[in-house]
Amino acid sequence: MASALANRAMGAIVGSAVADAAAQPLHWVYDLQKLQGILDENPNPEFRPESANPFYRRQTGQQSCYGDQAYVLLESLSECGGLKVDDLTQRTLKFFGPGSEYDTPVNDPYRDRSGTKSEGLPEECGCCETDCQIDGIAKLAPIVAFYAGHPDMLEKVEQATRVTQNNDECVAETLAAARFLEHFILNGPDPKVLDVVLSQLSDPNRKQPQDLDKAVIGHIHQVKENLSKTPKELIPTVFARCVPSSAARSPDS
């Protein structure tokens, strides 16, 4: 049992990294017609040799900016033997901050087209109180794998998330995602996982409660209502409002 659990934890980390690298060349392609044209050329776009990403450029096989955040978190957890917020903050600053590969117009998605850095990011660590994008969820695998089954897992996830996204909406959604991933690591595949997490979020004595948990419950019910739809059907209809009208402002608006 311990071996199976360890394998699932390792699989979460490796699977997350491989999936991120596979999708990276088509990251943030919001123009659905352009994306469909790419898929018409090759219906198996994993590890596409040429990047179509309009916001930054990495070689095929490298991580996206999300995968790089997960890598920094994994490195910090490994070398510190657990979450050390100060260490994670400094590693994040070094990897993404001044003088890094991301501190260039071609690789910084938060620069506008004039090359000017978008406002709202504190200099010390890039933490932002208005950023409720997907970063917290995308980099979950290492910290959930490390703390799965521990009573303070959700607390650690919140601390790690707030290093770069000190935003309550982001934290609430990320903690819900952490519950899903922890359940899979501890138990393996489970077709009832949506109901399991809904039950956890509805428990008045739940760990790490958030003011926005009721909203998250609503989001999960929305997922359940749309399970029969394919991504091609779902994205331009249910989630069309999430696609930004301007590619210059915020890639994940």
Structural domain of 147: 2-242
Answer yes or no: is 252 within a domain. no
Q: How many domains does the chain have?
A: 1
Residues in the chain: 253
Distance CA 74, CA 76 (A): 5
Distance CA 188, CA 179 (A): 13
Answer yes or no: is 214 within a domain. yes
Q: What is the pLDDT of residue 250?
A: 46
Distance CA 27, CA 24 (A): 5
Structure tokens at 232: 């091609």
**The tokens 């935003």 sit on which residue?**
167
Q: What is the pLDDT of residue 43?
A: 87
CATH number at residue 62: 1.10.4080.10
Q: What is the pLDDT of residue 114?
A: 42
Answer yes or no: is 248 within a domain. no
Mean pLDDT in runs of 10 for the chain (253 residues)? 90 97 93 90 92 90 95 98 97 93 74 43 51 90 98 98 94 97 97 97 97 97 92 76 44 50
